[in-house]
């Protein structure tokens, strides 16, 4: 079985559309979202509609959590709060109900899915977890692989011969050791934070036990213009552009 794992779409319909096109060409058996489908970007309603239309299951991200519990907005910096409040105003009643029903985690077969960190956190950053806590979490996993998002970056952690190994992931096919348990961070579809601004996701092949790390080209200029025209803080448009590029007026 081949499962496409996506995360942190952040209301970027253009990046999401490009990823879905790439997924469809890759002949997967299913798609799972790790949450933060909304926030930062200009088209939350379109993204939620696409998720529902494709029947893509999603866990609860920290942006959906803040929608569900307004008191959580205090965790966000002012720009992120402003973008999320704008997103909420653009969502239909049906989409709000859908997002409010999302659960913090789920397990399908030998794969576990959570936005931030297991067992059920939307807010813990994978990259900030100290070694002892990471070892304890991986040792305690009842799944072969735990997929997480939230950090908008591609990397993984595993224990081999009692040694914790953390490793960045680049655009390639990674063969995983069936004897080991892994925690895999699948990057971001709609707001990558690294140097590579392409839309990111991964395909896990259960039969070959391989992880296909995918970077998908799309033109962010239209999304940049929508962010600017929609009154969303410009930093979330600028973050989509290659270093040194500036495709919209502030």
User: Taken in order 7, 80, 11, 48, is the CA torsion positive or negative?
Assistant: positive
- Strand 173-175 and strand 154-160: the pairing is unpaired
**Angstrom distances, CA of residue 217 to CA of 14, 19, 145, 248:** 10, 9, 27, 19
List the CATH number of the domain containing 71: 3.60.21.10
In this structure, is residue 248 part of a structural domain? no
Residue 231 has pLDDT above 60, yes or no: yes
When divided into structural domains, the chain yields a total of 1
In this structure, is residue 246 part of a structural domain? no
User: What average pLDDT score do residues 136-155 get?
Assistant: 96
Per-residue pLDDT, 62: 98
pTM of the model: 0.95
In this structure, is residue 250 part of a structural domain? no
Per-residue pLDDT, 40: 98
Distance CA 210, CA 200 (A): 17
**Angstrom distances, CA of residue 239 to CA of 40, 41, 58, 203, 221:** 10, 11, 24, 25, 12
Per-residue pLDDT, 248: 42
Predicted confidence (pLDDT) per residue in 156-180, tens digit? 999 999 999 999 999 889 999 999 9
**Angstrom distances, CA of residue 208 to CA of 178, 179, 183, 211:** 10, 13, 18, 9
Distance CA 107, CA 130 (A): 24
User: What average pLDDT score do residues 80-85 get?
Assistant: 97
What does the buried/exposed string (b/e) look like for 207-225 if buried means 16 or more CB atoms within 10 Å of the residue's CB?
eeeebbbbbbebebeebbe
In this structure, is residue 244 part of a structural domain? no
In this structure, is residue 205 part of a structural domain? yes
Residue 48 has pLDDT above 50, yes or no: yes
Residue 243 has pLDDT above 80, yes or no: no
Per-residue pLDDT, 246: 53
Q: Count the residues in the chain.
A: 250
Confidence of residue 247 (pLDDT cuts 50, 70, 90): very low
In this structure, is residue 90 part of a structural domain? yes
Average pLDDT, the chain: 95
Q: What range does the domain containing 181 cover?
A: 2-238
Predicted confidence (pLDDT) per residue in 174-214, tens digit? 999 999 999 999 999 999 998 999 999 999 999 999 999 99
């Amino acid at each position: 079985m081949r499962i496409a794992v996506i995360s942190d779409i952040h209301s970027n319909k253009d990046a999401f559309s490009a990823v879905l096109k790439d997924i469809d060409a890759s002949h997967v058996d299913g798609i799972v979202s790790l949450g933060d489908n909304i926030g930062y970007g200009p088209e939350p309603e379109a993204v939620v509609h696409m998720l529902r239309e494709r029947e893509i299951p999603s866990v609860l991200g920290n942006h959906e959590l803040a929608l569900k519990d307004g008191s959580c907005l205090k965790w966000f910096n002012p720009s992120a709060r402003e973008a999320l409040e704008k997103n909420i105003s653009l969502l239909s009643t049906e989409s709000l109900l859908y997002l409010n029903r999302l659960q913090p985690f789920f397990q399908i077969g030998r794969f576990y899915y959570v936005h931030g960190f297991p067992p059920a956190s939307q807010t813990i950053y994978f990259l900030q977890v100290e070694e002892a806590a990471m070892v304890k979490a991986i040792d305690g996993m009842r799944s072969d692989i735990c997929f997480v998002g939230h950090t908008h970056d591609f990397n993984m952690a595993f224990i081999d011969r009692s040694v914790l190994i953390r490793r960045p992931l680049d655009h390639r096919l990674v063969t995983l050791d069936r004897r080991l348990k892994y925690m895999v961070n699948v990057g971001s579809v709609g707001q990558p934070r690294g140097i590579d601004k392409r839309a990111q996701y991964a395909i896990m092949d259960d039969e070959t036990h391989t992880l296909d790390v995918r970077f998908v080209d799309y033109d962010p200029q239209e999304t940049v213009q929508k962010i600017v025209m929609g009154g969303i803080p410009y930093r979330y448009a600028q973050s989509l552009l290659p270093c040194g590029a500036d495709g919209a007026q502030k």
